[in-house]
Amino acid sequence: MIVAVASGKGGTGKTTVATNLAIANSATIYDCDVEEPNANIFIKAELKKLEDVFLMNPQFDLNKCTFCKECAEFCRYNAIAILPSDILFFKELCSGCGGCKIVCKYDAIEEGKRKIGEIYHGKNGIEIYQGLLNIGEARATPVISQLKKRIGNELSILDAPPGNGCPTIEVLNDSDFVILVTEPTPFGLHDLKIAIEIVKKLGIDFGVVINRDGIGDEGIEKFCSREGIEILMKIPYSKEIATLYSKSIPFVDKMSEWRKKFVELMEIIK
Ligand code: SF4
Ligand code: SF4
């Protein structure tokens, strides 16, 4: 079973929920927040690199090229600019789709590859897989796709990137259930609504976890009640939890009642 933990906005406590859920249920965690993976701050495993992640990049043969511009016109990412006798290629913009090679009638494009990230693995009580996007790279999705190939038949918790963009959708695709973590503020509600629209369009079952319950207003609860959306758990704005967080200690390790609650949460999801 694959459970993705996502949030419309950053800083809601998504990784806190993902790591505590994984630890309490002896699941494997996949840190798909490849631009800034931080789940291992809580798991504290010794990570070892498993593989590099490459992106297909076109290589142009100027001897065969007629400068017809078809590849540039095809590329919706504007990664190619054709000059009268040269080609400019902006590698950071390229998605690696390979379309330019297909449309070139003169066989002037070869498939090259460029390293954009790495996949890591470690174990400390539970297993953790982590993707890491190289600094300066713009395309997180291929690293996430590669990381997801490691998912087996075990209970898998996917820590999604914050926001509602392509990398998040790549994580949510193929998930059996999505936990949307939010905070009880107007900003939290605004971004939660967008995240819910996406999850509904993907046709995946989901529920909401409210983190730092008590800091804001009741907007999220009223919205969920109105829309018939289940609030799976409320994590209070608590000094004890915040103190453990500041020491990178998963609170299920120190607060047995919360370990039980996260086990129960997984039972509800199943
Ligand atoms: S489509 Fe092929 S021939 Fe035309 S500009 Fe691009 S690389 Fe050159
Ligand atoms: S591989 Fe795709 S994104 Fe990259 S340059 Fe070619 S058409 Fe553009």
Ligand nearest to the backbone CA of 56: 2
pLDDT the model gives residue 163: 82
By residue range, what is the domain housing residue 263? Answer: 2-53+116-269
Closest CA to 171 of 16, 23, 11, 18: 18
Ligand nearest to the backbone CA of 74: 2
- For 149-167, the three-class secondary structure string (H helix, E strand, C coil) is CCCCCCCEEEECCCCCCHH
103 C-alpha to ligand 1 centroid (Å): 8
End-to-end CA distance of the chain: 8
Q: What is the pLDDT of residues 99-154, one digit of tens each?
A: 999 999 999 999 999 999 999 999 999 999 999 999 988 889 999 999 999 999 89
76 C-alpha to ligand 1 centroid (Å): 15
The letter for the amino acid at 241 is I
Report the number of distinct structural domains present in the chain.
2
What is the C-alpha separation between 165 and 104, in angstroms, rounded? 30
Closest CA to 140 of 28, 55, 49, 40: 55
pLDDT the model gives residue 11: 82
User: What's the CATH number where 90 sits?
Assistant: 3.30.70.20
Measuring from each residue's beta carbon to the nearest atom of ligand 1, which residues come in under 6 Å? 60, 65-71, 82, 104, 106, 108-109
Instruction: Tell me the whole-structure pTM to 2 decimals.
Output: 0.89
What is the best residue among 73, 106, 111 to mutate for testing ligand 1's pocket, by most ligand atoms within 8 Å of CB? Answer: 106
pLDDT the model gives residue 199: 95
What is the C-alpha separation between 15 and 22, in angstroms, rounded? 10
User: What's the CATH number where 188 sits?
Assistant: 3.40.50.300
102 lies in the same domain as 123: no
pLDDT the model gives residue 168: 94
Last residue of a domain, one of 114, 134, 151: 114
Q: Is the dihedral of CA 65, 69, 73, 79 positive or negative?
A: positive
Ligand nearest to the backbone CA of 109: 1
Q: Whose CA is nearest to atom 4 of ligand 1?
A: 68
All residue ranges of the chain with pLDDT < 50 are none
169 C-alpha to ligand 2 centroid (Å): 21
What is the C-alpha separation between 34 and 161, in angstroms, rounded? 7
pLDDT the model gives residue 216: 82
pLDDT the model gives residue 215: 87
